[in-house]
Amino acid sequence: MSVDSSLSLSSKSISVGAISVPLPIFNPRKAELWFARLESFFVANKITNQSTKFSYANSLLPDDVIEQVPDVIFKPDPDSPFDCLKREVIRVTSLTDQQTIDQLLANVELGDNTPSQLKRHMTNLLGNRTVDKRLLYQLWLRRLPQNIQQILAIGDEDVDFDRLADIADRIYERSKTHLVSQIQSSSADEITELRRSVDTLTKQITQIQLLNASHSKRRGTSTSRRRRSPSTTRYICWYHRTYGKQARKCTPPCNFASTQKKERQDRRLVTTALTDHNFQDSRLLYVTDKRTGTQFLVDTGAEVSVIPPTALEKNTPVPKLKLQAANRSDIKTYGKRRLQLNFGPKSNFSWSFIIADVLVPIIGIDFLQFYKILVDVRNRKLVLAEQSKEIRGTISNETSIHLLVKPHHEDDKYVNLLNQFPDLLRPSFKHDKPTHTVVHYIKTEGPPVFARPRRLDPSRLAIAKNEFNKMIELGIIRPSDSPWASPLHIVPKKNFRS
């Protein structure tokens, strides 16, 4: 082989091994940035034709955005369809002046960000709008901790905003480290005392288990000669003394039900204390919503799913619904908010989260149970049992707060009635197995009837999506992986009975 031929072969191998640039995922809150990344994809793949760019963007944009720009889709501009689509999408997804003001005044908080990140976020919200530098500085300063505000109060119109943000970052890091060390030193005695209490409880539980085991053995050999303490059997009827939980009759007055309830509460309290003792060994999982970039903490110890409140939502607490941490401390709630989540390809979820005083959004056992999701912490993933899909996550060092719904008063008969019939609030559409053996068969030949996909009218598409989303939430249907599609026929009706 000649030198020239070897050089040509190496150049071909280099061109074949070129890195392919992935298509970006659309974020409605950052449409301008998304189009800039899409332009980079076009440059990398040498795509210059406006119609080709338009086709790519049209296929990548979600339906809720397409519904807002139907004119550009149905009647694209003959000369520059992509530029017109880009301009319209940015226009409909951008915040109005009033929305921007509301965001800056009420909804912008420091949270887990650094002061410089907060400044950058506020600047991005403004976009191309011009705002007085002193006003923006004062709005930014009010969102910082009190100690940083006192140090930076010297700022005026001549101060370099970027330099002040860097100084605030250094102060924030030092104060954060000092706060953590202070909390750790002050809570050391409490942890030691807690461990002693847990050790005592563990010994008591072991003794109770040994007593119950020996008692059950004696009961199997001789039932008639058992001795009972008068204090424990005085208000328990003969049926419950003889058959326990399996008794079908009861003669009043009988305290068997209240005694069993107290034992369950004691077991729950002990279990919670033991769980708190091992909280340092717990490892939780983070999953990220692809639409907003928000990280959700997957906590199997939480009974409900919660999200932190905004500044406006904190003004409207809900006293009826109360949550409780494992240490029995109350957590305020502020209503509910429904979120549309996307954790990956074909992994869309809709859920009504409780707004509560928590630091991070938490996905609880109610969400996992409804969607039949298994948590695999060892392999850092969530497994959708019915669909055989996986959602990748990241390991978190956060500790579980074991979020519980605070029980209502025991005499609240309506609450007790709803607890006995949970399907009234969250109906289940899964039918029980039939008692008969009759089976119906429908003979079919060939593949199912199908039609090419085509877009519905935007108004009808919104109606159809709303109906399908409701059925998905209720568990009637689920997204299909089948390649077949059938046409959807929608007819307007006067009312739901016609």
Per-residue DSSP letters for 335-397? EEEEEEEE-STT-EEEEEEEEES-SS-EE-HHHHHHTTEEEETTTTEEEETTTTEEEE-EEE-
Q: How far from 237 is each of 172, 243, 261, CA to CA, in Å?
A: 66, 10, 17
Residue 276's pLDDT is: 46
CB atoms within 10 A of CB 140: 25
CA 44/CA 467 separation, integer angstroms: 41
Residue 55 phi, psi dihedral angles, 5° rounding = -65, -40
Say which CATH architecture domain 284-405 belongs to: Beta Barrel (2.40)
Residue 103's pLDDT is: 64
Short-list 477, 480, 483, 479, CA closest to 451: 483
Q: Classify the C-alpha dihedral 143-146-149-151 as positive or negative.
A: negative
CB 395 within 8 A of CB 285: yes
Cis peptide, bond prior to residue 427, ω within 30 of zero: no
Query: Over the range 193-222, which residues count as b (16 or more CB within 10 Å of their CB) and which as e?
Result: eeeeebeeeeeeeeeeeeeeeeeeeeeeee
Q: Classify the C-alpha dihedral 231-235-241-244 as positive or negative.
A: negative
CA 319/CA 338 separation, integer angstroms: 20
Which H helix or E strand runs over 121? helix 115-126
CA 258/CA 268 separation, integer angstroms: 15
Tokens of 249: 């009759």
CA 378/CA 312 separation, integer angstroms: 39
Residue 15's pLDDT is: 42
Q: Alpha carbon 24 to chain centroid distance?
A: 23
Residue 177's pLDDT is: 56
CA 93/CA 32 separation, integer angstroms: 9
CA 72/CA 88 separation, integer angstroms: 8
Residue 362's pLDDT is: 92
Listed as ranges, residues in the chain with pLDDT below 70 are 1-21, 97-108, 111-112, 127-129, 132, 153-159, 176-190, 207, 209-235, 258, 260-283, 319, 397-399, 406-416, 418-419, 422-432, 450-451, 473-475, 481-485, 495-498
CA 384/CA 390 separation, integer angstroms: 6
For the chain, state the CA radius of gyration.
31
- Sheet containing 404-405: give its strands across: 330-331, 323-324, 404-405
pLDDT tens for each residue of 37-48? 888 888 888 888
CA 152/CA 171 separation, integer angstroms: 10
pTM value is: 0.37
Tokens of 140: 């930014």
CA 472/CA 454 separation, integer angstroms: 22
CA 167/CA 158 separation, integer angstroms: 16
Tokens of 443: 């003979």
CA 217/CA 219 separation, integer angstroms: 5
CB 324 within 8 A of CB 336: no
Residue 306's pLDDT is: 92
CA 156/CA 134 separation, integer angstroms: 7
CA 129/CA 97 separation, integer angstroms: 9
Tokens of 328: 């029995």
CB 429 within 8 A of CB 302: no
What is the number of residues in the chain? 498
